[in-house]
Amino acid sequence: MNTIDYLRISLIDKCNFRCQYCMPEEQELNYLLSEDILTKQELLTLVKQVFIPLGFTKFRLTGGEPLLRPDLVDIIAEINNLSATRDISLTTNGYLLANQAQSLYDAGLKRINISLDSLNQDTFDEIIGNHGKSRWHQTWLGIQRAYDVGFNPLKLNVVVIPGVNDSEVLDLAQLTINKNWHIRFIEFMPIGNSQLFTKKAWIPSEEIRQQIRAKWGLEESNIRGNGPADVFKIPNAKGTLGFISQMSECFCDRCNRVRLSADGWLRPCLLNETGQVNLKKALRTGKNINFIQKKVQDLLLLKPEINFKERESGTNNIYSRTMSQIGG
Ligand code: SAM
Ligand code: SF4
């Protein structure tokens, strides 16, 4: 059984974008009330007193859009200062990053993933559901700033959607040739209620690899992250290309993570809610730490079974919670 030592923490369910594949504009969203979101203190109690004693060493902060959370820098600094923390990272859409990159870095964050689905302003705005002044430049500025500040690795997440941004695969891959940037192509997942589910909305990673191989060649990289990405590189490129292929190639057997939603639900698996436990309720009803640890331990024991059951049954549910609510 895998060692499960990686916690993804959704800090907030709100976002300043409405990406088609995550929080599509046509979907009515009921945001959490602020009192339903785990406070900084509750989060730190869980990290320090529950997850670290259970062997967790890697923490990724995500959302919704985590840069909307006013206490983000403090949360990072506190988690980073814990001696057991081996790795703290953040996933952001980058729109507010230009102004925050330095303070995040100074707080101890060194690894960052920024979503960038297109190099074309119009396509970008179409994907993120923006109708006003283009948001591409501000996002690009955020990426540049993160690079200048020294984030390493700097990863760019791309969800490839047929007919929308799949024609840009080579342009995006090319960014890794001269810069130590890591592009990760993600297969779209049927989570939430997007219109995209009505058609085949994902492209197998192997098709993308074939395009890149035909243009430049592609070699397996010896750099392996904590995560599910299969990592390759264009020969002699400075950066790498990761492929996250949850639809075409099951990686449940190497999954090492669980997810904590902004409202305190701990989920064993992105695609399965079975067995989830409400840690916020446990904290707020005064349950002691041993009780909460035991709940988490029980969930960790269930985790592999839950992943595989879903895969083997071949169900293709449309999951009611979006990525922004679960914490992507
Ligand atoms: N707002 C931040 C961002 O966009 O990077 C962090 C949260 S977002 C939910 C985390 C990651 O999930 C992003 O890289 C996004 O592209 C990815 N994501 C969201 N919905 C997805 C879906 N249906 N299929 C695949 N990836 C998805
Ligand atoms: Fe917001 Fe990230 Fe979801 Fe896009 S993917 S809507 S940026 S949470």
C-alpha 45 chain-centroid distance: 22
pLDDT of amino acid 11: 98
- As a whole number of angstroms, the distance between CA 264 and CA 295 comes to 13
> How would residue 143 be classed by pLDDT, with cut points 50, 70 and 90?
very high
Residue 192 pLDDT greater than 70, yes or no? no
pLDDT tens sequence across 270-328: 777 777 899 999 999 999 999 999 999 999 988 766 565 555 555 444 455 666 666 66
Residue 311 forms part of a structural domain = yes
Q: Is the CB of 127 under 6 A from ligand 1?
A: no
CA-nearest residue, atom 7 of ligand 1: 63
Query: 């990290």: which residue's tokens?
Result: 47
Testing ligand 1's pocket by substitution, the residue of 117, 159, 172 carrying the most ligand atoms inside 8 A of its CB is: 159
Residue among 175, 159, 170 nearest 124 (CA): 159
- As a whole number of angstroms, the distance between CA 156 and CA 114 comes to 5
pLDDT tens sequence across 204-213: 999 999 999 9
What CATH code is carried by the domain that includes residue 305?
3.20.20.70
Q: How many CB atoms lie within 10 A of CB 188?
A: 22
For the CA atoms of 155, 156, 159, 165, the dihedral, rounded to the nearest 10 degrees, stands at -150
How many angstroms does the Cα of residue 92 sit away from the middle of ligand 1?
9
> How would residue 249 be classed by pLDDT, with cut points 50, 70 and 90?
confident
For 15, the token pair is 């976002």
pLDDT of amino acid 234: 98
How many angstroms does the Cα of residue 159 sit away from the middle of ligand 2?
11
CA distances 198 to 193, 194, 195, 216, 318, Å, are 10, 8, 6, 34, 11
Residue 162 forms part of a structural domain = yes
Average pLDDT over residues 116-137: 97
pLDDT tens sequence across 152-167: 999 999 999 999 999 9
Q: Is the CB of 203 under 6 A from ligand 1?
A: no
Q: Is the CB of 188 under 6 A from ligand 1?
A: yes
Testing ligand 1's pocket by substitution, the residue of 18, 19, 248 carrying the most ligand atoms inside 8 A of its CB is: 19
Evaluated on CA atoms 62, 67, 71, 75, the torsion sign reads positive
pLDDT of amino acid 223: 67
Q: How many CB atoms lie within 10 A of CB 132?
A: 6
Its domain, for residue 88, covers 6-326
Q: Are 269 and 307 in contact (CB under 8 A)?
A: yes
How many angstroms does the Cα of residue 286 sit away from the middle of ligand 1?
34
Testing ligand 1's pocket by substitution, the residue of 22, 96, 158 carrying the most ligand atoms inside 8 A of its CB is: 22
- Count of the separate structural domains present in the chain: 1
Q: Are 227 and 2 in contact (CB under 8 A)?
A: no
pLDDT of amino acid 317: 47
CA-nearest residue, atom 12 of ligand 1: 328
How many angstroms does the Cα of residue 10 sit away from the middle of ligand 2?
12
Beta bridge pairs of residue 257: 6
pLDDT of amino acid 26: 87
- As a whole number of angstroms, the distance between CA 108 and CA 186 comes to 27
Query: 């169900």: which residue's tokens?
Result: 315
For residue 324, give the ligand 1 atom closest to its CA.
9
Evaluated on CA atoms 277, 283, 287, 288, the torsion sign reads positive
Q: Ligand 2 site: residues with CB under 6 angstroms?
A: 15, 17-19, 22-23, 63-65, 93, 115, 323-324
Residue 1 forms part of a structural domain = no
How many angstroms does the Cα of residue 294 sit away from the middle of ligand 1?
30
How many angstroms does the Cα of residue 63 sit away from the middle of ligand 1?
9
pTM of the predicted structure, to 2 decimals = 0.93
pLDDT tens sequence across 53-85: 999 999 999 999 999 999 999 999 999 999 999
pLDDT tens sequence across 85-126: 999 999 999 999 999 999 999 999 999 999 999 999 999 999
C-alpha 253 chain-centroid distance: 19
Task: Give the number of C-alpha atoms closer than 13 A to the C-alpha of residue 232, restricted to the C-beta side.
Answer: 18
Cα three-residue angle 155-192-123, rounded to 5 degrees = 50
Helix boundaries (H) for 107-244: 121-128, 136-149, 169-178, 205-216
CA-nearest residue, atom 20 of ligand 1: 22
Ligand with smallest separation from the Cα of 16: 2
- As a whole number of angstroms, the distance between CA 35 and CA 12 comes to 12
pLDDT of amino acid 328: 63
Q: Are 319 and 325 in contact (CB under 8 A)?
A: no
Q: Are 154 and 112 in contact (CB under 8 A)?
A: yes
Q: Is the peptide bond before 153 cis (omega within 30 degrees of 0)?
A: yes
pLDDT tens sequence across 12-47: 999 999 999 999 998 888 999 999 999 999 999 999
Q: Are 192 and 322 in contact (CB under 8 A)?
A: yes
